[in-house]
Amino acid sequence: MTVICPPTIYLPPIAKIASFSAAQLLDALTYLRSLYQPEVRGSHRKHVRAPEVKETRKFHLRHEFDSEVHVIRSDAFERSYAMRWLTALIAQLEVWQELLHSKDTSLDNVAKPEPTFAHTEALFQQAASLIAICAGFAATGTITRNFTFGSIDGQRRVAAQLTEIPLDNDDYGSVGAQTWGGSCVLAEMIVEDPGRFGLDLSFGDAESRRFNILELGAGTGLVSLVVAKLLHILPSFDNREVSVVATDFYPSVLANLGSNISANFPPTNDVIPSTHSITTHFLDWSSFSTTASPRPSSLSYPFDVVFGADIIYEPDHAVWIKDCLKQLLRRPSERTLSPAAFHLVIPLRPTHTFESSTVESVFLKACDVDPNGDADLVILSKESITCDAHNDYTRGRDLGEDVEYTYYKIGWSDTQI
């Protein structure tokens, strides 16, 4: 799919659907999914850097591409046609399935090449899902995404389903209504190696106290959901009380965050043990450290691990976050074998270069801090991550674009990495 076309042009003609192969129909469904359920940009890590393209050209091509896609996605007529096409495809699939069930497998008068039952079933499921997606997008602008992350050895798999909602009147404060690439990258890294993030207590912290986890700017809640589900399957947390608190400050984002948690952890299902909990709470970084009123109970205790992804996009954010961490991140203790840490992933966006740079001006490197001074929050380690920006829909458009992230591990200056 190297050229952006509207459904009325790209899709096989409705009257001739039966003459197309299963592979061709699958390609059409993939196109529709890319259009009406786009993947999260910059969420696929890679280890080999592709040849660089000049930033100005990348920006020009990306802006041009995004504009074209937005026009097609917002066109009510094109979306209506896509739904009619999907309905016609399902009707044709039902014909094929009836013929296959009746053992008339020739289907020479219906399609060429002949589809199998597995093909028709797979196409049917995708088409039905896309009708729901298109209908939901038309009615509310919402998008439902399914994520699955696995460990490198294949022993662990964690899945989560999220609903994204439209921005409130294009208010930038509601950006948490969308799932951003940084949260996908962080969630993937956590599942791959929990110990790296202080989440494997097999060889360390044997305390019986509750293990507390906080996410700042949780948005749709991907990281919190993945962490809560991961701890359910890690043996070292079988008999440990665990609290995961997902926070945000924008009302509609916080409401959607709560809905996503309820959808992934329905009260009637034993998805996580009774000793584990995941909750949401309002948290305004700008005022948390200066508010005189008593803290809510869910934020009144120190946290062992704090996560943040794609949360630095204004100049003051790093300062506010540090002020919050000073009160929320557990202080060093001889009783705690696993030092508390804040794990932050931020994208290096050309449009937010200054905002990204504030992290390293607000949090000093551990080696630059006076070892005889008071404990301070410092950068313990830093790692660069490169992701492919494009998805299947953009592949072949020669954008040559990567998304760069920086992963910071931040903790108290008198702790060891």
> Cis peptide before 273, with omega less than 30 degrees from 0?
no
Both 239 and 352 in one domain: the answer is yes
**pLDDT (tens digit, 9 = 90+) per residue, 116-149?**
878 888 898 888 878 877 776 555 567 788 899 9
Whether residues 119 and 168 fall in one domain:
no
Closest C-alpha among 379, 364, 361 to residue 415: 379
- pTM > 0.85: no
Domains: count for the chain: 2
pLDDT (average), residues 35-43: 71
Least confident of 48-57, 127-136, 328-337, 389-398: 48-57
Q: Report pLDDT for 59.
A: 39
Q: Are residues 294 and 191 in the same domain?
A: yes
Token pair recorded at residue 355 = 């905002």
> What is the reported pLDDT for 397?
46
- With respect to residue 189, please indicate whether it lies within any of the assigned structural domains: yes
2 lies in a domain? no
pLDDT at 9 over 60: yes
Residue 117 sits in the same domain as residue 148: no
Q: At what angle do helices 22-36 and 117-140 cross, to 10 degrees?
A: 20
Q: Is residue 106 over pLDDT 60?
A: no
Q: How many angstroms separate the CA atoms of 284 and 337, rounded? A: 31
**The pair of three-digit structure tokens given for residue 369, joined into one six-digit string:** 């801090």
pLDDT in tens, 228-272: 999 999 988 988 899 999 999 999 999 999 999 999 998 766 667
Question: Do 135 and 148 belong together in one domain?
Answer: no
Looking at the structure, tell me whether residues 233 and 324 fall in a common domain: yes
* Phi, psi angles (nearest 5°) of residue 267: -60, -25
Give domain status of residue 243, yes or no. Answer: yes
Q: Is the residue at 314 inside a domain?
A: yes
CB distance 127 to 86 below 8 Å: yes
Q: Above 60 in pLDDT, residue 52?
A: no
Residue-wise pLDDT tens digits, 350-370: 766 777 789 999 999 988 877
- Between CA 247 and CA 265 the distance in angstroms is 17
Would the pLDDT of 171 be above 80?
Answer: no
Best-predicted range by mean pLDDT among 4-8, 29-33, 151-155, 276-280?
276-280
Rounded to the nearest 5°, which phi and psi values hold at 214? -130, 140
Instruction: Return d(Cα 224, Cα 278) in angstroms, integer.
Output: 8
Provide the domain limits for residue 125.
7-140
pLDDT in tens, 67-100: 677 788 778 888 888 888 999 998 888 888 888 7
**What's the confidence (pLDDT) of residue 265?**
93
Taking all residues of the chain, what is their mean pLDDT, rounded to a whole number?
Answer: 81
> Are 94 and 155 contained in the same domain?
no
**N- to C-terminal Cα separation, the chain:** 46
CATH at residue 301? 3.40.50.150
Q: Which residue matches tokens 């019986």?
A: 208
Confirm if 195 and 230 have CB atoms less than 8 A apart.
Answer: no
pLDDT value of residue 56: 38
Strand duo 377-388 + 364-365: pairing:
parallel
Residue 213 sits in the same domain as residue 232? yes
- pLDDT number for residue 95: 87
125 with 171, same domain?
no
**Please, which residues bridge with residue 147 across strands?**
160
For residue range 268-326, list pLDDT tens digits in order.
Answer: 666 677 889 999 999 999 999 888 778 888 999 999 999 999 999 888 999 999 999 99
Q: Which of 91, 114, 140 is the last residue of a domain?
A: 140
- Assigned domain for 325 exists: yes
Would you say how long the chain is, in residues?
Answer: 417
The reply to whether 184 falls in a domain is yes
- Provide the strand spans (E) within 67-180: 143-150, 157-164
- Residue 342 and residue 319: Cα distance in Å, rounded? 14
152 and 262 fall within a common domain: yes
- Boundary (domain end) residue, out of 97, 121, 140: 140
Dmax (CA) for the chain in angstroms is 85
As a whole number of angstroms, the distance between CA 305 and CA 80 comes to: 47
Whether residue 83 lies inside any domain: the answer is yes
Residues 381 and 337 in one domain: yes
Average pLDDT of span 325-349: 86
Please report which helix (H) or strand (E) contains residue 301, including its range. none
Q: Is residue 1 part of a domain?
A: no
Tell me which of 100, 117, 140 is where a domain ends: 140
- Stated as kind and residue range, the H or E segment containing 165 is none
Looking at the structure, do residues 176 and 82 belong to the same domain, yes or no? Answer: no
pLDDT at 137: 58
Q: Please determine, for residue 2, whether its predicted confidence score (pLDDT) is greater than 60.
A: no
| Cα–Cα nearest to 343, from 380, 395, 314 | 380
